[in-house]
Amino acid sequence: MKKESEIIKKGGVGIIPTDTLYGIVASALNSKAVERVYTVKGRRTDKSCIVLISSLKTLDSFGIFLSNNVRAFLLKVWPGKVTVILSCVRDAFSYLHRGTRTIAFRLPKDERLISFLKETGPLIAPSANPEGKNPATTIEEAKKYFGNSIDFYMDGGKKSSLSSTIVKVGENGQYTVVRQGDEQI
């Protein structure tokens, strides 16, 4: 995974197995790499992406302040297949929040993925499919979708999980389920 993490650090784009589905990944801290994912995927530019992180501490690099209630909520649902939408008002991350001033983060449980995230830093990881198509469940399907437009493919076998559950959480720790996915809260 060293070679792949170096490609990511240099602004590359790859397809990897996540804890839920195959994802198209790029450094969340590289706006050009993020835009490349949007182009390759044909993703609507007003639709933000989930950011995978390796630890709660990673949120600091996005200037995200956590109240005690929100921190307690995150510690309850993470690591796992729950994506949490948090407020991010810094203009420097407008290429991620797309005007919503929020970013959706997930701290996965999969140890191999966590190791990769520790090497690469935070990654955007929308599902591996062109906009409007079904997510790829195998690396072969992903290659049919994207071919040479991707810098690397990492095979993780068949991935047939549901998407992550997405919740929006307020400063008081109260949450609203935006999308019910694989994990119940």
Task: List the one residue out of 68, 59, 43 whose CA is nearest residue 103.
Answer: 59
DSSP per-residue letters across 30-48 = -HHHHHHHHHHHT--TTS-
Strands 165-169 and 82-87: parallel
User: What pLDDT, on the 0 to 100 scale, is given for residue 170?
Assistant: 83
Res 140 pLDDT > 90: yes
Per DSSP, the three-state class of 146 is helix
Residue 90 included in any domain: yes
In a domain, 125, yes or no: yes
Range of the domain at 57: 2-176
Residue 181 lies in a domain: no
Residue 75 inside a domain? The answer is yes
Residue 171, in any domain of the structure? yes
Residue in the block written with tokens 């835009």: 35
Q: How far is CA 128 from CA 30, 97, 120, in A?
A: 19, 20, 19
Measured in whole angstroms, how far is the alpha carbon of residue 47 from the centre of its chain?
13
Distance between start and end Cα atoms, the chain:
32
> What is residue 170's DSSP assignment?
-
In whole angstroms, give the CA distance from residue 75 to residue 184. 15
Q: Could you tell me if residue 30 is inside a domain?
A: yes
pLDDT tens profile 82-117: 999 999 988 999 999 998 999 999 999 999 999 999
Classify residue 168: in a domain, yes or no.
yes
pTM of the model: 0.95
Number of compact structural domains in the chain: 1
Q: What is the CATH number of the domain that holds 85?
A: 3.90.870.10
The whole-number pLDDT of residue 173 equals 79
Q: Is 118 helix (H, G, I), strand (E, B) or coil?
A: helix
- Residue 122: cis peptide before it, omega within 30 degrees of 0: no
Express each pLDDT in 150-176 by its tens digit.
999 999 999 988 889 999 998 787 899
The answer as to whether 157 is a domain residue is yes
- Kindly state the percentage of the chain with pLDDT values over 70: 99
Nearest-angstrom CA–CA distance, 114 and 87? 23
